[in-house]
């Protein structure tokens, strides 16, 4: 539906946002009902209390009702998300229109209906093109909202149902395109060529095709991933119940017990992920509430998760954080906290622009420092995926002008550097925090201007010892300490490090060295361990200190500097 200049200028989107909140609240009530029914079926009507054919039938019927509540709750959440996404677009475009009106060139005026009077025909045409683009974006968002609500609620007419079916029929064509190696730009162009109902039909029928494809818009990927996550949680819950029943009949089966423990662990990780992305992130006191978007996840192996705080499609600045050794689905919350702090810090550094911050755990990070983090294979395996993700950010950028920064912490910096080296990274700035080397000898080998390559390491970070000969010396010293005492062993081993060349780390030239040729910035060693092992603890603890501080205005110089880089204010970097 076409939206007029006057309608957008004067619109109050509060009531529409409130409708979305009501749908979300209804989802919560249905989920509470499902939990009550599940408790009724498993405890009060469980096999320990009631057996027999009638009991089984009753439990089966209660489960059907509970499953229906879950399905309805999911529908309510998807409608709420569709409304929320539309409101975000409407408000952004309304604000863009207001900014345009506040900066009219001299001699140009606009009446209440958008009719332009201008001394310069060129100025008038430029203004009209800007307004037309804004209204087109609003109209597209309005059509997308209508398609989503109608499809989910089942209120489509015959023509709309035909378009939904056409979208479903496109699944094979889309899969063929992906199998053929289509890049994110081609994917985005294909998606934009579909009607809103075709898009919705494909999303509803085949969310697994869209969930992790770079070039698909953020809101669509988020909806697809949440649908898949809800479905996996339900399937795993059923599997857990089945194993519990089998274990109750055979309590001594250790294989079943181990399987049950594994299922519960994964279920707990998935529930935690669902809960972490379930609410907006509030930036400090007085800052904005930023929506979280689930751009990808997997429970296979150690698990993966890609989460955005704020919408990268519409943000002025996009920050991507790649975590390092030891990060997996079970502990991804700590890395997500850092990405969230980076979103907040960017806001305080530049309140007049918008920043989306992405945690990219889209790869299998090493499990342990030794020997896994000594192996570049983890980073090499991730290179194509990280490169594609960066290209996808460009493809979905609605105005084509966002500033993109990718930051790698620890082994994550190795992953970033090797992705840039092997597959290319379409980013504006590259940041290496606490790096063991990035797979290249020089900043000039990373495919971007070395002046846009940044690195930092605080003076007490143990990563400075990350050279093969130094690691061997320290490990040997530690082993010797079993005989001669822990302090003597560690200090003796460390002497080999301090006597050697610091510019050569385990994965390449030290990014904070002059030899690397990039730019450096300050970081503080904010953690101070006490006691006999203070030397070791300080250096180990300060490897993770770069995001220390509260959720408010940055209290850590590393966070200040990262925020300036992310928002393009590099003159403020110290």
Instruction: Give the number of other CB atoms < 10 A from CB of residue 52.
Output: 9
Question: Alpha-carbon distance 397 to 407, whole Å?
Answer: 19
Question: Alpha-carbon distance 265 to 167, whole Å?
Answer: 37
Instruction: Give the number of other CB atoms < 10 A from CB of residue 317.
Output: 26
Co-location of 140 and 275 in the same domain: no
Task: Name the 3-class secondary structure at 222.
Answer: helix
| Structural domains counted in the chain | 2
Note whether 522 and 493 are within 8 A (CB): no
Question: Alpha-carbon distance 186 to 169, whole Å?
Answer: 19
Q: Which residue has the tokens 């009531």?
A: 15
Co-location of 420 and 565 in the same domain: yes
Is residue 62 in a domain? yes
The pLDDT value recorded for residue 475 is 44
Question: Alpha-carbon distance 370 to 177, whole Å?
Answer: 41
Note whether 393 and 419 are within 8 A (CB): no
Which of 379, 529, 352, 371 is closest to 440 using CA atoms?
Answer: 379
The pLDDT value recorded for residue 35 is 87
Is residue 304 in a domain? yes
Q: Which stretches of 287-363 are DSSP H helices? A: 332-349
Is residue 214 in a domain? no
Domain end marker among 102, 127, 155: 155
Instruction: Write out the DSSP string of 244-298.
Output: HHHHHH-TT-HHHHHHHHHHHHHHHHHHHHHHHTSSPEE-TTT-PEEPEEEEEEE
- List the end-to-end C-alpha distance of the chain, in Å, as a whole number: 50
Rounded to two decimals, the pTM is 0.86
Give the mean pLDDT per block of 10 residues along the chain (574 residues): 88 94 92 88 78 88 90 89 90 92 91 91 91 92 92 92 95 96 98 96 96 97 95 92 89 94 96 93 92 96 97 96 96 96 96 96 93 92 98 95 97 98 98 97 98 96 73 44 41 45 83 97 83 66 90 81 98 96
Co-location of 137 and 272 in the same domain: no
Q: What is the CATH number of the domain that holds 458?
A: 3.40.50
Question: Alpha-carbon distance 306 to 149, whole Å?
Answer: 26
The CB-based long-range contact list for 225-230 (8 Å cut-off, 24+ gap) reads 225/294, 225/295, 225/296, 225/297, 226/77, 226/78, 226/81, 226/274, 226/277, 226/294, 227/74, 227/78, 228/297, 229/270, 229/273, 229/274, 229/294, 229/297, 230/70, 230/74, 230/274
Domain end marker among 155, 174, 203: 155
Owning domain of residue 303: 257-478+489-572
């Amino acid at each position: 539906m076409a939206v007029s200049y006057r309608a957008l200028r004067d619109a109050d989107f509060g009531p529409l946002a409130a409708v979305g909140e009501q749908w979300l609240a209804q989802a919560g009530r249905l989920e509470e009902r499902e939990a009550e029914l599940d408790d009724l079926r498993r405890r009060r009507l469980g096999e320990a209390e009631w057996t027999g054919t009638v009991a089984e039938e009753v439990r089966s019927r209660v489960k059907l009702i509970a499953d229906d509540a879950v399905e309805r709750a999911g529908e309510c959440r998807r409608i709420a998300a569709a409304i929320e996404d539309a409101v975000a677009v409407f408000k952004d475009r309304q604000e863009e229109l207001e900014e345009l009106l506040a900066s009219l060139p001299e001699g140009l005026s606009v009446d209440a209906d958008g009719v332009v009077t201008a001394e310069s025909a060129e100025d008038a045409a430029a203004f009209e093109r800007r307004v037309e683009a804004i209204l087109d974006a609003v109209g597209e968002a309005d059509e997308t909202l209508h398609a989503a609500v109608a499809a989910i609620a089942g209120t489509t007419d015959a023509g709309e149902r035909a378009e939904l079916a056409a979208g479903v029929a496109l699944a094979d064509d889309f899969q063929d395109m992906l199998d053929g190696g289509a890049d994110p730009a081609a994917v985005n162009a294909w998606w934009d060529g579909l009607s809103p109902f075709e898009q919705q039909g494909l999303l509803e029928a085949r969310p697994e095709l869209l969930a992790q494809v770079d070039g698909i818009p953020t809101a669509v990927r988020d909806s697809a991933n949440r649908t898949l996550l809800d479905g996996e949680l339900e399937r795993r819950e059923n599997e857990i119940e089945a194993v519990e029943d089998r274990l109750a009949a055979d309590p001594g089966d250790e294989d079943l017990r181990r399987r049950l423990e594994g299922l519960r662990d994964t279920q707990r990780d998935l529930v935690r992920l669902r809960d972490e992305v379930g609410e907006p992130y509030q930036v400090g006191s007085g800052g904005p509430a930023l929506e979280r978007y689930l751009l990808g996840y997997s429970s296979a192996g150690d698990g993966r998760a890609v989460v955005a705080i704020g919408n990268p499609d519409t943000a002025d600045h996009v920050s991507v954080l790649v975590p390092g050794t030891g990060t997996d689905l079970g502990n991804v919350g700590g890395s997500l906290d850092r990405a969230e702090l980076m979103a907040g810090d960017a806001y305080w550094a530049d309140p007049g622009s918008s920043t989306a911050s992405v945690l990219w755990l889209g790869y299998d990070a090493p499990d342990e420092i030794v020997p896994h983090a000594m192996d570049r294979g983890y980073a090499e395996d991730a290179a194509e995926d990280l490169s594609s993700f960066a290209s996808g950010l460009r493809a979905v950028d609605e105005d084509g002008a966002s500033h993109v920064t990718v930051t790698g912490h620890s082994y994550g910096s190795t992953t970033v550097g090797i992705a840039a080296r092997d597959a290319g990274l379409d980013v504006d700035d590259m940041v290496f925090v606490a790096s063991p080397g990035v797979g290249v000898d020089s900043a000039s080998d990373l495919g971007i201007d070395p002046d846009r390559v940044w690195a930092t390491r605080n003076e007490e970070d143990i990563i400075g010892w990350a050279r093969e000969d130094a690691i061997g010396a320290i490990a040997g010293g530690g082993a010797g300490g079993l005989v001669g005492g822990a302090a003597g062993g560690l200090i003796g081993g460390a002497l080999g490090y301090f006597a050697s060349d610091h510019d050569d780390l385990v994965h390449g030239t030290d990014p904070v060295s002059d030899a690397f040729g990039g730019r450096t910035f300050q970081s503080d060693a904010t953690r101070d361990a006490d006691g006999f092992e203070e030397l070791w603890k300080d250096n180990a603890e300060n490897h993770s200190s770069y995001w220390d501080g509260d959720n408010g205005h940055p209290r850590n110089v590393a966070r200040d500097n990262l925020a300036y880089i992310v928002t393009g204010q590099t003159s403020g970097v110290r």
